[in-house]
Amino acid sequence: MPSGYTVDIARSMAEIEAVQWDACANPAAEGVAGAGDGERFNPFLSHAFLSALEESKSVGRRAGWIPMHVLVKDATGRLAAAAPAYLKTHSLGEYVFDHLWAEAYARAGLAYYPKLQVAVPFTPVTGRRLLIAHGQGEEARKTLIEGLLTLREEAKASSLHITFPVREEWDWLGANGFLQRTGQQFHFINRSYGDFEAFLSVLASRKRKMIRREREAALKGGIEIELLTGTQINERHWDAFFTFYMDTGARNWGTPYLTRGFFSRAGASMSAHVLLIMAKHGGRYIAGALNFIGKDALYGRYWGAIEERPFLHFEVCYYRAIEFAIARGLARVEAGAQGEHKLARGYLATKTYSAHEIGDSRFARAIADYLKKERAFVEAELAGYAALSPFKEACERSI
């Protein structure tokens, strides 16, 4: 352990001073020029967001996400580095799939669970995972990793998984012995468009006409769309949205992850960073999408509906999000995991990352070989998506 640093484990965010955590999680948001990598303010790393998950019991022992946040403190007792870490008893809510690894462990008579996960629960959003305070350097990061590896051993966890880190962290982790994995999502990139029509103007004619048809069809029959943020959102809106969330979640992935209390807590503590896009028919809310607002990006997180309407999902989740990002001058919209259908609607394939430390050396070698092949597949898939870009310039290149 480097001189002057100590490592602690916090069993809840309530044990951590919010100001100190946020100074590590979002140093650029604290006015530190050049701090961090990527998003200047990532709402999911904030003390408020992670606390809302815990206070609402969306994470915890019963949920199989047991908080064990790793803290590195300097000689004065201030937080020098931190990682949002959870002891996991399953692989749900991660969006980086390792079920086959767990099955292989079981066939060998070994226990894959518990495992240690450094992540934002239920949130496939790239962001810093090794949270280093401004003014702290390489030794703080090395101490943080040492603390995570020690915790994995003490907790008798099979492995350590760091999911959706930024590229710089991924490179560093790979250079320090972690297995590297890649994936892909679809993001809208704002090329300083003046408005939605300016965005449409750079699309191929066929895609442009398709989007206009879909937007018109989505609003047929008197559908109204409301964009709500800050104090505009009240408990009536959360009640309606939670109904959508539970109905869609139960049909699509079994048991929804978030409790009703999460939405009220996040809405109260992060009101300026919440965007709720709601669809109404006949005075009644029938669908909605929850987004979080960063300094550089709009993050689409959850969609739900109690009535099926053609193209309403695209209008609420994709097109209205693009309009909002353009109006706010945000650099991109991240619309969540998966979804090749996003490509035709102006969202481009973007690489994502994860890093893994496997305790059993035999499995580590086998997984390393698997990941080498998987990375090559992801590269080929990204190249294929690039050729299918809906933008005029890509179409011209393919002729």
In this structure, the answer to whether residues 122 and 204 fall within a common structural domain is: no
In this structure, the answer to whether residues 124 and 214 fall within a common structural domain is: no
Asked whether residue 33 is assigned to any structural domain, the reply reads yes
Share of the chain above pLDDT 70, in %: 93
The boundaries of the domain holding residue 218 are 191-330
Q: What is the CATH number of the domain that holds 125?
A: 3.40.630.30
**Cα angle: 371, vertex 376, 381; to 5 degrees:** 120
In this structure, the answer to whether residues 178 and 205 fall within a common structural domain is: no
In this structure, the answer to whether residues 74 and 160 fall within a common structural domain is: yes
In this structure, the answer to whether residues 196 and 262 fall within a common structural domain is: yes
| Amino acid 392: pLDDT | 75
The predicted-structure confidence for 111-126, as pLDDT tens digits, reads as follows: 999 999 999 999 999 9
In order of 11, 12, 265, the CA distances from 69 in angstroms are 7, 7, 21
User: Domain boundary at 282, 299, 330, which?
Assistant: 330
Handedness of CA 253, 266, 235, 61 (dihedral sign): positive
Asked whether residue 31 is assigned to any structural domain, the reply reads yes
Query: Which residues of the chain have a pLDDT value below 50?
Result: 1-2, 33-36, 395-399
| Amino acid 28: pLDDT | 76
| H or E stretch covering 246 | helix 235-253
| Amino acid 399: pLDDT | 27
Determine the Cα–Cα distance for residues 169 and 173; give it in Å rounded to an integer: 6
In this structure, the answer to whether residues 23 and 136 fall within a common structural domain is: yes
In this structure, the answer to whether residues 357 and 239 fall within a common structural domain is: no
Asked whether residue 341 is assigned to any structural domain, the reply reads no
The predicted-structure confidence for 221-269, as pLDDT tens digits, reads as follows: 999 999 999 999 999 999 999 999 998 766 555 578 999 999 999 999 9
In this structure, the answer to whether residues 178 and 44 fall within a common structural domain is: yes
Asked whether residue 337 is assigned to any structural domain, the reply reads no
| Amino acid 26: pLDDT | 94
Q: Whole-angstrom distance between the N-terminal and C-terminal Cα of the chain? A: 59
Q: Are 261 and 59 in contact (CB under 8 A)?
A: no
**Cα angle: 116, vertex 122, 124; to 5 degrees:** 95
Asked whether residue 75 is assigned to any structural domain, the reply reads yes
In this structure, the answer to whether residues 355 and 281 fall within a common structural domain is: no
- Contacts by 94-103 with C-beta closer than 8 Å and gap 24+? 94/119, 94/161, 94/163, 95/124, 95/163, 95/164, 95/337, 96/124, 96/161, 96/163, 96/164, 96/181, 96/183, 96/354, 98/161, 98/356, 101/159, 101/363, 101/367
| H or E stretch covering 9 | strand 6-10
In this structure, the answer to whether residues 80 and 149 fall within a common structural domain is: yes
| Amino acid 253: pLDDT | 55
In this structure, the answer to whether residues 90 and 172 fall within a common structural domain is: yes
In this structure, the answer to whether residues 25 and 146 fall within a common structural domain is: yes
| Amino acid 249: pLDDT | 63
Asked whether residue 343 is assigned to any structural domain, the reply reads no
Asked whether residue 295 is assigned to any structural domain, the reply reads yes
| Amino acid 38: pLDDT | 54
Q: What's the whole-model pTM score? A: 0.94
| Amino acid 355: pLDDT | 98
Q: Phi first, then psi: what are they for 374, rounded to 5°?
A: -65, -40
Share of the chain above pLDDT 90, in %: 88
Asked whether residue 394 is assigned to any structural domain, the reply reads no
Domain count across the chain: 2
